Amino acid sequence: MTPGYLARRLAAVLLVLLVVSFAVFAITMILPGNAAVMILGEYATPDQLAAVSERLGLNRPWSVQYLDWLGGMFRGDWGMSLRLSLPVAGLIASAFANSAMLAATALVTVTVIAIPLGIAAAVKRGTRADLAIGLLAYIGTSMPEFVTATLLIVFLAGPESGLFPAGGFVSPLEDFWGFVAHVMLPAGTLSLVLTAHIARQTRSEMADVLASDYVRAARLKGLAEPAVLRRHALPNALAPTIAVISLDIGYLLGGIIVVEEIFAWPGLGRLLIYALENRDLPVIMGVTLVLAMVYATSNLISDLVIAIIDPRVRYA
């Protein structure tokens, strides 16, 4: 990989984050009622409002406020939550760890299940197994997370079956099996949508590769089918599949918002919903920026991995 390629990609990520930070800031500027109103409530006197606005620096021009906020983000000073009176950085750090555990569980599950499914569907194209996998994929992409989650709770966490807890969180460090029981349903909800999407994409990439000239050439020279798959087809179908997985991290980040809210999982999604309901601006801005950062970073990593796997990208 050339240093130039790396530098270009890094610059692009920074630019993306700058655009996001500005967009988020702009949205919070347009929100009716500023931070002073949020702190003091609706019945504050104008004098009180003026005093708090002065203390928070809300009377400065928006450009100064933006740069000040952005500078704070870089220094690790993310401000104070207006409702919880705790530093935003600390709140986000603990929520981030919880969300990461949920997302990682879902992502690993999905990768282990979806890629073999997609490959199987492509190899056995047109058979009943392919049809079944395709059908599953369609059902998965057509179910919103809140429907899947609700149905899973009804059938697996109800008072009668009671196989899993209907919500809550247990730290894996304190009680590992408790964590597994609690993570099962939320991770399962997220996995259904992602498995559907990734299996479908893997199938289509693999089908393209299997129809290519080099796979035909490999077969014609008498290579056994497993060797054709392992040596020629798989490596070429892998790069686009990785790209799809990194795009799906975007879905995952949207999905955790709903899923955490439903399963009372104390992660970024739940924190965000809480902040949105309470108009807690510093928290809203912080969480949004962190989610965008995760997405941009995962795209960067996938680009780099693809560049390592696929020499055509590296030298393009």
Partner 1 sequence: MRELLRSPAGLVGTCLLLLVGAMMVLGPLLAPYDPQSFHPRARLQGPSLAHLLGTDQFGRDLLSRLLHGARNTVAFGLGATALGVIIGSIIGVTAGVIGGWIDSAIMRVLDGLLAVPDLLFTLLIVTMLGAGMGYAMLAVSVAFTPGMARIARSAVLSIRTREYVLAAIARGESWGWIIGREVLPNAIGPIVVEATIRVSFAMMIGATLGFLGLGAQPPSTEWGLMVAEARQFMFRSPWCVAVPGVAIALAALGFNLFGDALRDSFDPRRRLR
Residues at the interface with partner 1 (CB under 8 A): 12, 15-20, 23-24, 27, 30-31, 138-139, 141-147, 150-151, 153-155, 158-160, 207, 211, 250-251, 253-255, 257-258, 261, 272-273, 276, 279, 284, 288, 291-292, 295-296, 299
Both tokens assigned to 163: 């196989």
Closest contact distance (angstroms) between CB of 47 and partner 1 is 28
Residue among 228 and 258 whose Cβ is closer to partner 1: 258
173 vs 316, beta carbon nearer partner 1: 316
| Least distance between partner 1 and beta carbon 110 (Å) | 17
Q: Which is nearer to partner 1, 84 or 157 (CB)?
A: 157
Using left for φ > 0, alpha for ψ between -120 and 50, and beta otherwise, residue 144 falls in beta
DSSP assignment, residue 31? S
* 102 and 180 Cβ atoms separated by less than 8 Å: no
**Beta carbon of residue 307, minimum distance to partner 1 (angstroms, whole number):** 18
**Cβ(88)–Cβ(81) below 8 Å:** yes
Nearer of residues 57 and 144 to partner 1, judged by Cβ = 144
The least CB distance from residue 174 to partner 1, in Å, is: 28
- Read off the tokens for 128: 């009943």
The secondary structure of 150-191 as a DSSP string is HHHHHHHSSTTT--S-SS----TTT-HHHHHHHHHHHHHHHH
For partner 1, which is the closer residue by CB, 161 or 171? 161
Beta carbon nearer to partner 1, 129 or 309: 129
CB 269 within 8 A of CB 256: yes
Smallest separation (angstroms) from partner 1 to the CB of 26: 10
Bridge partners (DSSP) of residue 87 are 80
- In angstroms, the CA 267 to CA 108 distance is 18
Q: How far is the CB of 154 from partner 1 (least distance, A)?
A: 5
Q: Give the shortest CB-28-to-partner 1 separation in angstroms.
A: 8
Q: Is 205 exposed, middle or buried (0-12, 13-18, 19+ CB in 10 A)?
A: buried
Q: Between residues 48 and 204, which has the closer beta carbon with respect to partner 1?
A: 204
Whole-number minimum distance, CB 194 to partner 1, in Å? 13
The total of other beta-carbon atoms located within 10 Å of residue 81's CB is 22
Q: Which residues contact 38 (CB under 8 A, 6 or more apart)?
A: 82, 83, 278, 279, 280, 281
Q: Which is nearer to partner 1, 14 or 112 (CB)?
A: 14
Gap between the Cα atoms of 241 and 114, Å rounded: 10
Residue recorded with tokens 């975007």 = 250
